[in-house]
Amino acid sequence: MGVLIILLYFFFPAVILFFSTRYSIINKIGVVVICYLGGLILGNVNIVPESISGLQSDLMGVSILLGIPLVLFSENVLKWVEMARYTFISLLLGVASVVVLVFIGYFIFRERIPEIWKVSGMMIGVYTGGTPNLAAIARGLNVDEDLYILTHTVELVIGAFVLLFLITGAKPLFSLFMKPYKSDGQSGQIDLDVSDFESYDGFFSRSSVPGILKAFGVSLVIFGLGYGLTFFFKGEAKDTAAILTVTTLGILASLVPGINRIKRSFQLGMYFIYMFCVIVASKADMAALFNPDSMDLLVNMFLFILLVIVGSLLLHALLSWIFGISVDEYIMTSTALSNSPPFVPVVAAALRNKEVVVPGMIIGVIGYAIGNYLGVAIAYLLK
């Protein structure tokens, strides 16, 4: 049974991703949501043997250390400088807003939420880079599986409503006091393939195999270096050092044109992130998580995460108004930070402004790059 469970960890996300190219309903629900549900069901029907607990933890570490550099290979640091000045300012204001609200939330809820410094680090990560950063920071800070699942579950619920607001009501509301977008004729000229971040079409074809193997080989080397560095540290610092090492090496590798241009490296990285999601969800005890004795924790987590996400959006809007950021740039920056690159084209379509797609995508990949550093730094500062 243990062998079958391990095989399921590898194949379940792959099968979901394969069918996502054929059935749009999977993408509408969200691959990460399906992976979490699959893992939760698997772990709470009492078929996972205790004997593989150690192997589960090892696989979680391996999947993150392989996935993070793969996600970053398609990063292009040189494109950051090509962003419009106001877009870059909006990025800084968005990141500053979430840091401020995490600090405020920490001092309000520090007596009500255990290990809130770890939750704070994860919130920085998920707001700047989404699931990859959340998972990486959770691993780097050695977050308990139940606390991780609770954090991400609440964040997903609140985030879904925030995304709906960004698509529908944000522009009419914030246009009341923020200036309208004015085209500079340049934002759409930077070459960036949106499909690199949202489509698995062609991923399972034979023609993509050489590139996937090449990216995997480079990621293995980075994994080896990151894992090897852990022998110089003790305790929680081992995982933290490994995560920050593979993040740094992944960014450096992205500067090599031969690596940066590999197709499907981002998708392969997300496969490992989804694999992590299945494993960690299968280790969560839902009965203990949502029993009556845990309701106080659940309510406080909801209020803390609501404060961080909604408060960050409002503070970011206020700062954007002060600094003269247009309403479209503000909404796109908020989308890229809080929901990651795949949602940028969706919101851009709702805004009827294709010029903000590329800057939004670049902001999203910057979030992938800085989220791990910032999340870990804030967590240890609060600790």
143: Cα separation from own chain's centroid: 16
Pair 117, 383: CB distance under 8 Å: yes
Mean pLDDT, range 222-230, rounded to an integer? 89
pLDDT reported for residue 190: 47
Give me the residue spans of the domains in the chain. 72-269+285-382
- 3-state per-residue secondary structure call for 148-217: HHHHHHHHHHHHHHHHHHHHHCHHHHHCCCCCCCCCCCCCCCCCCCHHHHCCCCCCCCHHHHHHHHHHHH
Q: Length of the chain in residues, anyone?
A: 383
Q: Is the pLDDT of residue 105 over 60?
A: yes
Instruction: Report the SS3 class of residue 263.
Output: coil
Instruction: Report percent pLDDT > 70 for the chain.
Output: 90
Mean pLDDT, range 348-375, rounded to an integer? 79
> Residue 342: which pLDDT band, with cuts at 50, 70 and 90?
low
Mean pLDDT, range 288-307, rounded to an integer? 83
pLDDT reported for residue 305: 94
Q: pLDDT, tens digit, for every residue of 29-40? A: 888 888 888 888
> Residue 198: which pLDDT band, with cuts at 50, 70 and 90?
low
* Highest-confidence segment of 172-186, 212-226, 356-370: 212-226
> Residue 312: which pLDDT band, with cuts at 50, 70 and 90?
very high
Pair 366, 80: CB distance under 8 Å: yes
Which of 81 and 366 is assigned the larger pLDDT? 366
Q: pLDDT, tens digit, for every residue of 74-97? A: 776 666 666 667 778 888 999 999
> CA-CA distance, 369 to 128, in Å (whole number)?
9
Mean pLDDT, range 202-214, rounded to an integer? 87
Q: Is the pLDDT of residue 63 over 50?
A: yes
pLDDT reported for residue 216: 94
Pair 282, 145: CB distance under 8 Å: no
pLDDT reported for residue 29: 81
Instruction: Report percent pLDDT > 90 for the chain.
Output: 25
pLDDT reported for residue 189: 45
342: left (phi over 0), alpha (psi -120 to 50) or beta: alpha
Q: Is the pLDDT of residue 188 over 70?
A: no
As a whole number of Å, the end-to-end CA separation of the chain is 40
> CA-CA distance, 361 to 194, in Å (whole number)?
7
Which of 198 and 330 is assigned the larger pLDDT? 330
Q: pLDDT, tens digit, for every residue of 242-297? A: 888 888 898 889 888 888 888 888 889 889 988 988 888 887 776 666 677 678 88
